[in-house]
Amino acid sequence: MNQEGSAFEEFNAKLREVGGRVYHDKHAFHIAMNQGRLSRNQIRGWIANRFYYQRNIPLKDAAILSNCPLRDVRRMWIHRILDHDGTEIDGGGIGAWLRLGEAAGLARDELLDNRHLLPGVRFAVDAYVNFARMKPWPVAIASSLTELFAPDLMQTRLAAFKKFYPWIAPEGLDYFGRRISQARRDSDEALEIVLKYCDTPELQDEAVRALEFKCNLLWSILDSIDHGYTNH
């Protein structure tokens, strides 16, 4: 392997190492969820707060698009907005998450008006959108590479919800099933872009830090939810 190829592989390995070290599947709240130890109130609190993250994903992706001057990259990236917003009123990932909330006993208005939203979750999600607006577009894309680690988490979560939380109507679990395949596709696309356009040591270091930032942000969201709903 030549020197350029070696640097490429090292960069790829550094990105993947971040997930093994700090991805939020290791958070105590997620572990408890997957072991069936959460109460109905905790599950509903997680669904309601995580919805704020879900509804802001298209804003994050639109911010990336607005900063990207390359048509080929924009054409590759733009489907993510429709994946979450959908092409119909109840379509996309946002519609699927609303159905998850309803299946868990949350009225749609409870999610849409943010009445259960915790300040720490709002702060973390808003910081993510601002990060995408302010950072160079390849670095902002690198922050989305948490999708590299999402399929396994989604499979584990889907199995756990079916086994331990049968009070949630099965049709509400559609979001988790669809994201298993979408996250694989999306992470492959994002990784291709990051490896191609983060082409200096400085940009590569920024990309790794961006992914660490996103992992820490997801961890902070769970910290807030854990604090807000444990023993309540």
How far is 104 from 167, CA to CA, in rounded Å? 7
| The total number of residues written for the chain in this structure | 232
What is 3-229's CATH number?
Answer: 1.20.910.10
How far is 134 from 207, CA to CA, in rounded Å? 14
Query: In tens digits, what is the pLDDT along the chain, a chain of 232 residues?
Result: 455 567 778 999 999 999 889 999 999 999 999 999 999 999 999 999 999 999 999 999 999 999 999 999 999 999 999 999 998 888 899 999 999 999 999 999 999 999 999 999 999 999 999 999 999 999 999 999 999 998 888 999 999 999 999 999 999 999 998 888 888 899 999 999 999 999 999 999 999 999 999 999 999 999 999 999 986 4
- What was the pLDDT predicted at 162? 95
- What was the pLDDT predicted at 231? 67
Map tokens 């395949």 to a residue.
181
How far is 41 from 38, CA to CA, in rounded Å? 8
Contact present, 51 and 221 (Cβ < 8 Å): no
What SS3 class is residue 45?
helix
- What was the pLDDT predicted at 4? 59
How far is 121 from 129, CA to CA, in rounded Å? 13
Count of CB atoms situated within 10 Å of the CB of 216: 13
Contact present, 137 and 68 (Cβ < 8 Å): yes
b/e per residue 23-48 (b: at least 16 CB within 10 A): bbeebebbeebbeeebeeebbbbbbb
Map tokens 């599950």 to a residue.
43
Closest C-alpha among 182, 175, 187 to residue 211: 187
Contact present, 128 and 214 (Cβ < 8 Å): yes
